[in-house]
Amino acid sequence: MLSEKAIKEIESIKSKIFSLEKEEYQLKIKRRENPDLYTILEKEIFKINDKIYKYGDKIREIEKGGFSTLEIKQIFKESENFIIVEKDKSMGIINYTKIGYSKVVNTLIKVNTYKYTSLMSNVRGCSSLANKKGMDSFKVITKETFDEYCKRGKIDRVNFCGVEEKIIPISNPGG
């Protein structure tokens, strides 16, 4: 089921795709008429095809989630204040599973987010990822599953070098 904003966004994207297809058709006609400009026009056609493909990906993403990209961004901002249920650490990334009530969706949701650590600034080719945050997915949950997560409490996991360990706090460290 799609939200109203998602339906409007899909319609606007489809109109953009339609205009890009018209432009692509015109360039193909020019390419046939003018063989001297074949390589230049072929590059332009490839650029337009890439745009069409990206818009198609966006439509599939919206249809899969059921919400517009603006609503998804708002959910991600709201998730900053949610309860952290699970925290999974790796060498350069921390994954969070959070639960809470979303005002955008008007229901309880479970959100999977990630944050790249500052360690990524030292990795060659990945320095731009340092301290970046993002959202992998979100799912609408029921009140029962929300209560179940709250009863379970927070689970911390560490995953260094492919070995996952559950962190168990030490009750009396020093003796």
52 and 94 assigned to the same domain: no
- Listed residues 36, 51, 71: the one ending a domain: 71
Judge contact between 104 and 45, C-beta under 8 A.
no
Distance, CA of 24 to CA of 30 (rounded, Å):
10
pLDDT of residue 161: 55
Instruction: Report yes or no on 175 lying in a domain.
Output: no
For 143, the domain range is 81-159
Judge contact between 93 and 117, C-beta under 8 A.
yes
pTM over 0.85? The answer is no
Residue 157 has pLDDT above 70, yes or no: no
87 and 67 assigned to the same domain: no
Judge contact between 90 and 153, C-beta under 8 A.
no
- Provide the domain count of the chain: 2
pLDDT of residue 170: 47
Judge contact between 86 and 153, C-beta under 8 A.
no
Q: Name the band, by pLDDT with cuts 50, 70 and 90, for residue 162.
A: low
- At 22, give phi and psi (nearest 5°): -65, -45
pLDDT of residue 172: 45
9 and 61 assigned to the same domain: yes
